[in-house]
Amino acid sequence: MELKETEVSSKELFHGGFISLHVNTVRLPNGKTATRELVDHGPAAAAICINDQKEMLLVEQWREAIKQLTLEIPAGMIDDTDVSPLDAMKRELNEEGGLKADYWEQVAEFYTSPGFSNEKLYLYYCDTLTAAEDKSPLDDDEFLTASWYSLEELKNLLTEGKIVDAKTIYAISVWENMLLTGSEG
């Protein structure tokens, strides 16, 4: 049996600044229909930023959806001014960390929660960091602090449940694997 679902109809319920909400009716592999509630979300970019002391940059910020502070890798939406996901990440590293990197490598691209959203995230590794000569300001509604963490500190934060963001958990795993295999930039 083919597992593919076929869209029968789609109704947009909300169109916002960076997401749209849809209710779709789909035909299931067995011929019956079902409803799917979907979030249409633009792509984003994130980075594993490593300094000369072998520490990873995380930003702490309030996330209203879960009503708590989070520790996350630098990340942001790819907007109309960006030529590529890498351009978006370079912009975000400048805004959130006041940094630029000489070395960049794309290490993954994945969907953050494909059960209900089409948000695609491009994950980069960067090092050889220096202060940005012309630091861009944060967005008007963005407030965060940036700090550096060793792999051991990150693993302790994970064990303590203080890192709850999936892209950051994945990024820590990728970085640890890069260190173990010697494939760090």
Query: Could you write out the three-class secondary structure of 100-133?
Result: EEEEEEEEEEEECCCCCECCEEEEEEEEEEEECC
CA distance 104 to 10: 39
Comparing CA positions, the residue from 123, 41, 119, 44 lying closest to residue 79 is: 44
pLDDT at residue 156, rounded to an integer: 98
Q: What three-state secondary structure class fits 7?
A: strand
What is the chain's pLDDT, residue by residue, as a tens digit (185 residues)? 799 999 999 999 999 988 999 999 999 999 999 999 999 999 999 999 999 999 999 999 999 999 999 999 999 999 888 889 999 999 999 999 999 999 999 999 999 999 999 999 999 999 999 999 888 877 788 899 999 999 999 999 999 999 999 999 999 999 999 999 988 76
pLDDT at residue 76, rounded to an integer: 94
CA distance 74 to 126: 11
The domain locations on the chain are: 6-41, 44-181
pLDDT at residue 120, rounded to an integer: 97
Superfamily the domain 44-181 falls into: Nucleoside Triphosphate Pyrophosphohydrolase (3.90.79.10)
pLDDT at residue 136, rounded to an integer: 80
pLDDT at residue 141, rounded to an integer: 82
